[in-house]
Amino acid sequence: EDVFLASLADRTDSKSDDSDPSGKDAPKTAGYRRASRLAIMVLVLIVFGPVVWRCWPKEVSRWYVAIATERQLDGNFSGAEQALTMAARWDDESASILQQRGDLLIDQGRYEEAFDDYVRAVQLNPDDPMGRIKRSVALQHLGRHAEAIEEWLEIKTLWRDRGQEVFAIALNGLAYARALGDSDLDLALDEVNRALQFGGRRPESRAAMLDTRGYIHFLRGDYPAARQDLDRAIDSMERVLVNTSGLKSYPDPREQQQDLKQLKHHVAVMYYHRALLFESWGELELAARDLHRVRELGFEPGDHLF
């Protein structure tokens, strides 16, 4: 816009100078130039002003989100939270900003605050299953398992027509929610079996489903079946972890570390489930070995590791 105005002003100056070679009309010409510039500026404001007014807050918000992402990749989580809070102030209709901040709060164990962010995110975008998945996680951390199960029932409905692979993920999530709440385990077993039938083509997805089924078998007291599924899940995810660690295709090594952290979380959960199985089975040395691996991956065994 500045270039556009400068160009118009130059052309106006040129025409004005040519019209009075003697310089006798210089005061009149100067006044004409000022009026022309003012008219152009008013015209630009009339045309572009409303657009700038509408778009400017969202642009500022995106800038803060970019800052938050950089800080998060650098491990500055408090700084990332501050930037996301500023982003939310500039754009209070963005569900993704609230989800991102909620994820940071979950990692810090601030489950009530995270839940509030996820609730607002779902209100802003009720058809986004990811917001509901995150809200169910917060509910599980808060021990509100019945509500988490209801959340997954809604997710299953939203994903019913999204293809077998996606629907299988919803079935697995629902089965796992029931397992965490120790509720309707027979139904949960049926749901995860259907998930394995419909989906699980990717190694990560299949490992997650095997982990769910193994955990359900454990809760139902079928220890041999639980051991078989958990062994398979852990072996598969350890291979995925090794392969991801060796990838050279990441443009930013920090992004690779972020993905590895998420993968390590999944692997740690599986080891924790198997440690619980070994403890109940009386295999204390094997349980201790698995708990050591959980900590080696960067996580602490306990009720909030799931």
Q: Which of 133, 160, 183 is the last residue of a domain?
A: 133
Distance CA 259, CA 249 (A): 13
Q: CA quadruple 290, 293, 299, 305: dihedral positive or negative? A: negative
Instruction: Tell me, yes or no, whether 182 and 249 share the same domain.
Output: no
Q: How far is CA 135 from CA 128, 140, 294, in A?
A: 11, 9, 25
Work out the number of other CB atoms within 10 angstroms of the CB of residue 282.
8
Q: 3-17, 40-54, 103-117: which range is least confident on average?
A: 3-17
13: pLDDT confidence band, cut at 50, 70 and 90?
very low
pLDDT of residue 287: 99
The answer to whether residue 257 is domain-embedded is yes
Q: 21-30, 50-59, 62-71: which range is least confident on average?
A: 21-30
181: pLDDT confidence band, cut at 50, 70 and 90?
very high
Q: Which of 133, 152, 172 is the last residue of a domain?
A: 133
Q: Which of 154, 186, 201 is the last residue of a domain?
A: 201
Given a cut of 60, whether residue 101 has pLDDT beyond it is yes
Instruction: Tell me, yes or no, whether 163 and 218 share the same domain.
Output: no
Instruction: Tell me, yes or no, whether 235 and 263 share the same domain.
Output: yes
Q: How far is CA 247 from CA 100, 241, 252, in A?
A: 26, 10, 12
Distance CA 207, CA 209 (A): 5
State percent of the chain over pLDDT 70.
82
pLDDT digit string, tens, across residues 187-203: 999 999 999 999 989 99
pLDDT digit string, tens, across residues 189-248: 999 999 999 998 999 999 999 999 999 999 999 999 999 999 999 999 999 999 999 998
Q: What is the mean pLDDT of the chain?
A: 88
3-state helix, strand, coil in the chain (%, to 5): 80, 0, 20
pLDDT of residue 56: 77
Instruction: Tell me, yes or no, whether 115 and 184 share the same domain.
Output: no
pTM (predicted TM-score): 0.80
Domains in the chain: how many in total?
3
Distance CA 235, CA 242 (A): 11
Across residues 17-33, what is the average pLDDT? 51
**Cβ-proximal residues to 189 (8 Å cutoff; 6+ apart), any chain:** 175, 213, 216, 217, 220
116: pLDDT confidence band, cut at 50, 70 and 90?
very high
Alpha carbon of residue 109 to chain centroid: 17
List the domain range (segments joined by +) for residue 62.
31-133
52: pLDDT confidence band, cut at 50, 70 and 90?
very low
Distance CA 259, CA 148 (A): 25
Amino acid at 54: R
pLDDT of residue 27: 52
